[in-house]
Chains A and B, each alone.
Chain A
Amino acid sequence: MSDLVKSALPGARAEGLVSIEEMGLSGMVTLRVDLSAAGAAIAQVTGADMPGPRAISAGQGCHVAWMSPDELLILCDHARADAMVADLTAALEGQHHLAVNVSDARALFRVSGPGGALRDTLAKITPADMSADALPPGEMRRTRLQQVAGAIWFESETEARVICFRSVARYTFDLLAMSAKPGGAVGYH
């Protein structure tokens, strides 16, 4: 079965001012709950502290990203997502919440390269401030990637993640690849 399970753009890669690659399937769980009252349950299931606004906190084999005052996105192994949903549901028993596996609804890209070029490339496709002060590693910015919705965060100064909906994975990839085309260096960041 596993070889039949496919991410949006298996193996897609582009090289230019930075490298872009589709990261394959990744587990993602949307959790909607009053975050102010769910810290313990989250910690119990994920091992992560409740992230502050826009932050991503690390847990055991997973990351927890703040999406809004009543929404988290939990990133984990693809295979673990269903169990994660079940565990969250159990841990939040009796509390109004919604946990749902959305792993297959998205596509995830690794964009890596020299820090300046990396931030410049991203700054061609989003109105969000891509400077290091405005978006340091560990913070997620949900925004617009030209004509589609998406989110960006930095793992380090030389590696970023871009996430979008699965149906527009090709668009997002092409957009990134075009922005990273040699000859298009900007030298701003």
Chain B
Amino acid sequence: MSTRLSTGGRLIDRSRKIAFTFNGKRLTGHPGDTLASALLASGQTIMGRSFKYHRPRGVVASGAEEPNALVNLGQGKTHEPNQRATTTELFDGLTATSQNHWPSLEWDIGEVNALLPRFLPAGFYYKTFIHPRAFWKHVFEPFIRQSAGLGKAPDPKQTDPDRYEHFYAHTDVVIAGGGIAGLQAALEAGRAGAKVILCEQTAHWGGRAPVDGVEIDGKPAEDWINDTVQVLEGMENVHLRLRTMVAGVYDHGYILAYERVADHAPAADTPRHRLWRIRTARVIAATGALERPLSFPGNDKPGVMLASAMRDYITNWGVSPGDRTVVVTNNDDAYRTALAIKAAGLDVPCIVDAREEADGPLVQEARARGIRVLTGMGIANVKGLRGVVAVQLCRQAGEGAVVEDIVCDAVAMSGGWSPVVHLWSHCGGKLTWDKAGAFFRPDHDRPPTDQTGEGFVVCAGAADGALHATDCLSNASTSARNMLVSMGKPAPEAEVAKATAAHEAPLAPIWVMPQGAGPKKRSKMWLDFQNDVKVSDVQLAAREGYESVEHTKRYTTLGMATDQGKLSNINGLAVLADALGEDIPRVGTTTFRPPYTPISMGAIAGEARGEIFQPLRRTPLHDWHVDHNAYMEPVGHWRRAYCYPQKGESHRDAVNREIDATRGGLGLLDASTLGKIIVKGPDAGRFMDMLYTNMMSSLKPGKCRYGLMCSENGFLMDDGVVARIDEDTFLCHTTTGGADRIHAHMEDWLQCEWWDWKVYTANVTEQWAQIGVVGPKSRAVLEKLGTDMDLSNAALPFMGWTAGKVGGFDMRIFRIAFAGELSFEVSVPASQGRALWDALHEAGQEFGVTAYGTEAMHVMRAEKGFIMIGDETDGTVIPQDLGLDWAISKKKEDYLGKRAQERSHMTDPTRWKLVGLETLDGSVIPDGSYAVAEGVNANGQGMTQGRVTSTYYSPTLKRGIAMGLVLNGPDRMGEVIEFNTTKKPAKGETPKTVKAKIVSPVFYDPEGEKQNV
């Protein structure tokens, strides 16, 4: 049983208590506790269940590397699964529940899996569930799915109430890790005058040193840490950040750091998480080292813990993980744990040291304290079901014959340490195997490189392999100083503090305990605790040919759990190397990928939710549409009114009413989103002739012309009306979606191909509010407002434009007609748009003025047979397909897309061509329908001879009308073809089709009499 000790606990405030619940049980802890320390202090040793076998699991570590103690944190809106108890700071009112069990943590049905591990070896699912076929989907997969997964899913009916934000920072040096190495590196960089951001993932500075009894300059490490932090706080160029984890190192010195602003104080009105997006010249990874477990049978039972974690719980939080703890190790460092346990007044029945000899100062001290030290020994078995009751000892060199049983309730294990090289590796830094320390450390000759080709990450302290405190500070200092020199910011000479700690003898690389364990024992040695990957699984992978470490990882899922193998990877690959008879460095590691520890999706999305999820572009008339119940549709980031339903009206009713009103009197359309680009210069005409398929240079000032633009690949990309402003200047109208794209396209050609042409462009789309004043009464309403212009057909004919005043507004008027009625497209500076719109409505009352939306616009243009980019075109259509040959100049030698249109497939006479379609029964052809043809193609697909591109109910013609692309269409006028539907035919019936006659695409006013008045 674990419990709170009566004294000690450097991080907790014993004077105060805070309450929390675990699985509904009310418990208390102290400020400064983590959830894990508070649970241990409350005697709660089982904290979770493993993934595959649902084995009961206790906490094994004390920090970010924890694989077992994962909980559901919070409830309802703030529920968060898979939260590590070891990194969760306790706060008042915290609620946590354990995961992955049914019905309870103590009694889990899933535990039956644990009885069958023999039948569920690595990759068993690849070998079974194959027959019968239907069973996979209906029986096996649902079963696997149900038992998989870890934390409880959040409730879909709740929304995360918290806010998140990003913060962009620019600096010279980012230091990850606020242990003594990170602090020393910060001192050096700070003194050198570099801009520094120092991030520490926990809530405390100093890392391991205070727990490990390190002395610095003759004083406890803690004093040096406090002093150093104070010095650093005094430096203007150094920025210190706690609770901030450097999550990833990316190319060109891009760093993501994850600040948990309010996880420990959820009631605060602050962002919950802040994602730091940092550009830095250099990174110092002072991320320390992680202790490795040892692989002995039963090493996964609750009560078996990392030795360093055990002393963290004692020293930091005043928690005893057990009364009688057996320490098992292959190195000297674990002796510190034995001594710490002893010092806390608890019992260490023995230290089991796998090395044949152990005689360092720490060993001697342990012996002097009366602790029994057994060398050359290992653990053959851990007894106990839901906790430890005893361990059985054996010779490390043997096969595991039990020599002795030792009664105990906890085991502290240490398999040596591995530097945390993740940040070095994210961007391609290479590692080298350190034989003496039995770990991978950064290969200084092969660092990750930045945009200049220089190495930009260094590791410092334990992360660089300088595990021992004595080396750690000098290593950090040297690493930082070398790096500063490489940046041209050398640090001034300064005395480096001297750290001292007991000398340590070398460890013995022990990967399996006992060394000669047979298959039965190996199948009880856990490597990956969360994913239940055992030594036997890795050996199986090797045996079956999954030899690459990447294959083994994927076959066994080693290192793929939420801890990403922080504890298991090195042990796993050592076992693999052994099974393959290879050297460890030849087998290599798997790829280190960000983030270092998981980060919330909320933080990644940042502030972008709700109203500011995306920019929503508003025209100057936007509010009017909203006030008038418009149904808005997104067009790119714009919102446009689709229609304006009145009480009781369906969208379709509204559209029909809007069309009738427009054709019958006066309609108004907000056309402000149309792109408007000015093209000016002596070479403007020449440039326009390259941009458009037709001849634009011949357009006269005061006139408009419809034009088509193709990509260099020949396809129609945009269309619109061009107005010639003066000899030098054109105004190009583009589609709503086209404005930015076309402007960029123009600049591309001007800057990169025809840079000697004298042409300037400007995108003035948003300068203007543009309103379509449409219908037989359009002229009347403008005249009614009062104007200094002559708006008669003679003075301002169809496809002419002019500028002047109307009703006091500065206005440009274009006689263009997308709806096929008399119409005036008028534009005023955006600041006057709303006033003009209101004035038009007021003046238009007597003409039955009606605002119409994009759908009415679409239907009216279809009635006129005008094409729509995005409907008649889809990126595969060339103007020739649309019968727009009249808009393709035959005279011009060149235009963008011309050469492309000469390729064989583009000139193929069998390309489908645009026609009108009239259903025989007056119905509307379904959207997207294909014209069916006889037979099937070589791949058994039904043959087609065309497709519908636009299809509507026409309130004007009171029937369905459509346009479509049809094989030889223009030559088949009057012919009836059939369009398919997706309605499933009844049994035995042939699929239903819609019959339509091929007609001219111009359904309404073919002579253009209405627009030309």
Contact = CB atoms under 8 A, between A and B. Distances in A.
Contacts of B268: 183
Interface string B607-644: 11001101111111000000000000000011000000
Interface string B278-297: 01000000000000000000
B615 A168 contact: yes
Contacts of A123: 167-169
Contacts of B323: none
A141 interface: no
A156 B735 CA distance: 41
A54 interface: no
A174 B615 CA distance: 10
Chain A to chain B: the 4 pairs with minimum beta-carbon distance, closest first: A4-B835, A104-B830, A167-B617, A98-B760
Given A124-B607, A134-B170, A98 B680 contact: yes
Contacts of A142: none
Which one of B615, B765, B768 has the greatest number of beta carbons of chain A within 10 Å? B615
Interface string A150-169: 00000000000000011111
Which one of B168, B768, B831 has the greatest number of beta carbons of chain A within 10 Å? B831
Interface residues of A, number: 52
29 contacts: A4-B835, A5-B831, A6-B831, A6-B835, A30-B762, A33-B760, A100-B678, A101-B767, A102-B762, A104-B766, A104-B767, A104-B768, A124-B165, A127-B168, A127-B277, A128-B168, A131-B170, A147-B608, A148-B615, A166-B620, A167-B618, A167-B619, A168-B617, A171-B615, A171-B616, A178-B612, A183-B270, A184-B270, A186-B167
B853 interface: no
Nearest to A9: B618
Interface string A127-142: 1111100100000000
Nearest to A122: B168
Contacts of B765: 105
A103 interface: yes
Given A6-B834, A168-B617, A178 B764 contact: no
Contacts of B766: 104-106, 165-167
Given A5-B831, A147-B615, A130 B168 contact: yes
Nearest to A78: B831
Contacts of A53: none
A167 B638 contact: yes
B832 interface: yes
Nearest to A165: B766
Given A5-B831, A103-B767, 5 more contacts: A4-B835, A104-B767, A104-B829, A167-B766, A168-B615
Contact of B760 (A78, A97, A134, A188): A97
Nearest to B808: A1
Given A167-B638, A179-B607, A184-B165, A100 B762 contact: yes
Interface in B743-793: 758, 760-762, 764-768
A170 interface: yes
Nearest to B169: A188
Which one of A96, A127, A179 has the greatest number of beta carbons of chain B within 10 Å? A96
Interface string B676-697: 0010111000000000000000
A101 B271 CA distance: 41
Given A32-B762, A100-B762, A167-B638, A182 B832 contact: no
Contact of B830 (A70, A98, A105, A129): A105
A174 B612 contact: yes
A130 B170 CA distance: 8
B1010 interface: no
A166 B761 CA distance: 19
B57 to A, nearest CB: 37
A175 interface: yes
Contacts of A96: 681-682, 758, 760
B544 interface: no
Contacts of A179: 165, 607
B239 interface: yes
Nearest to A101: B767
Contact of B618 (A120, A170, A178, A184): A170
A165 B614 CA distance: 15
B840 to A, nearest CB: 13
A146 B169 contact: no
Interface in B803-839: 808, 829-832, 834-835
A175 B678 CA distance: 31
Contacts of B279: 127, 129
Interface residues on B, range: 35 or more
A166 B830 contact: yes
Given A147-B614, A170-B616, A171-B615, A100 B169 contact: no
A112 interface: no
A171 B612 contact: yes
B269 interface: yes
Contacts, number: 130
A76 interface: no
Interface string B897-914: 000000000000000000
B764 A102 contact: yes
B657 interface: no
A98 B681 contact: yes
Contacts of A32: 760, 762
B274 interface: yes
Contacts of A134: 170
Contact of B167 (A97, A174, A188): A188
A166 B616 CA distance: 11
Interface string A1-30: 100111100000000000000000100001
Given A96-B681, A178-B607, A186 B274 contact: yes
Given A146-B608, A171-B612, A183 B269 contact: yes
B324 interface: no
B49 interface: no
Contacts of A98: 678, 680-681, 729, 760-762
A65 to B, nearest CB: 15
Which one of A25, A126, A127, A167 has the greatest number of beta carbons of chain B within 10 Å? A167
Contacts of A147: 608, 614-615
A123 B765 CA distance: 29
B835 A5 contact: yes
Contacts of B682: 96
B52 interface: no
B166 A124 contact: yes
Nearest to B681: A96
Given A123-B168, A167-B617, A175 B831 contact: no
Interface string A65-103: 000001000000010000000000000000011101111
Contacts of A186: 167, 274
Nearest to A187: B239
Contacts of B165: 124, 178-179, 184
Interface string B255-278: 000000000000011110010010
Interface string A21-61: 00001000010110000000000000000000000000000
Nearest to A185: B270
A79 to B, nearest CB: 11
A134 B172 CA distance: 13
A184 B271 contact: yes
B168 A146 contact: no
Given A124-B168, A130-B168, A146-B607, A175 B760 contact: no
Contacts of B169: 123, 188
Contacts of A1: 808, 832, 835
A175 B613 CA distance: 10
Nearest to B834: A6
Given A146-B608, A178-B607, A129 B834 contact: no
Contacts of B764: 100, 102, 105
